[in-house]
Amino acid sequence: MSDRPADALRPYVRYIDKTRSYYLSQGYAKPYAWAHNEDAPFTPLTKPLSASTLTIISTSEIAIKDDPRFADDAETKAVGHVYAVPSDTPASRLYSRTQSYDRYATTLDDANAYFPLDRLHEAAARGRIGRVASQCLGVYNAYSQRKTCERDAPVVLGQCRAMGVDVALLVPV
């Protein structure tokens, strides 16, 4: 029995330790090193959310059911690949191919639990946001920080700019 009160906050999972041991178990020679930043860049919003275009960017390996573009793992699972998912896809047609979720505690059966596309459309319908961008983006987790920053992030940025995205919601899985 725990002496922790029933309403106490759960302790945080120590993912840094677990990620290190995971990558070692997968045959990577060097322990994974997370980026460590003391400060952060910051861009204030320039217009109200009700006039803004938003998108979701996800590392959940999100895919569309019965869509041939996602049938070929060799093409879509290239590490570091950035790809688009049309935002008019109902979340019921979306699924995740990732293995890196807590399979002992939950499932990825409901895309809105990690890729809240239906909820974002509802926010647009209510007028809380201006609109959902034409595409959401998937990004594969890369082992290399340099590849993430120098190869993948600029692609994400370019696609956001092309779609006129004002605010991006990034959801790591």
Partner 1 sequence: MGLVCRVVEEAGIPTVCVSTGRDITTLVRPPRSYFVNAPMGNNFGAPGDRETQSRILRAVLDLAVEAREPGCIVDDPMRWPRPFFFNPAPPSPEARAKQLKK
**CB 136 → partner 1: shortest distance, Å?**
14
- Residue among 68 and 105 whose Cβ is closer to partner 1: 105
Q: Using CA atoms, how far apart are residues 67 and 112, in angstroms rounded to an integer?
A: 19
- Residue among 68 and 148 whose Cβ is closer to partner 1: 148
Query: End-to-end distance of the chain based on CA atoms, in angstroms?
Result: 31
Out of 57, 63, 85, 133, name the contact with partner 1 by CB under 8 A: 57
Contact between 1 and partner 1 by CB under 8 A: the answer reads: no
The interface mask with partner 1, positions 113-142, x = CB under 8 A, is xx-x--xx-xx----xx---------x---
In whole angstroms, what separates CA 167 from the centre of its chain?
14
Decide the pairing of beta strands 62-64 and 94-96.
antiparallel
Contact between 78 and partner 1 by CB under 8 A: the answer reads: no
Give the Cβ contact number of residue 38 at 10 Å: 4
Judged by CB under 8 A, the chain residues 21 through 50 that form the site for partner 1 are 21-22, 25-27, 29, 34-45, 49
In whole angstroms, what separates CA 23 from the centre of its chain?
20
Q: Using CA atoms, how far apart are residues 35 and 62, in angstroms rounded to an integer?
A: 25
**CB 16 → partner 1: shortest distance, Å?**
5
- Residue among 67 and 150 whose Cβ is closer to partner 1: 150
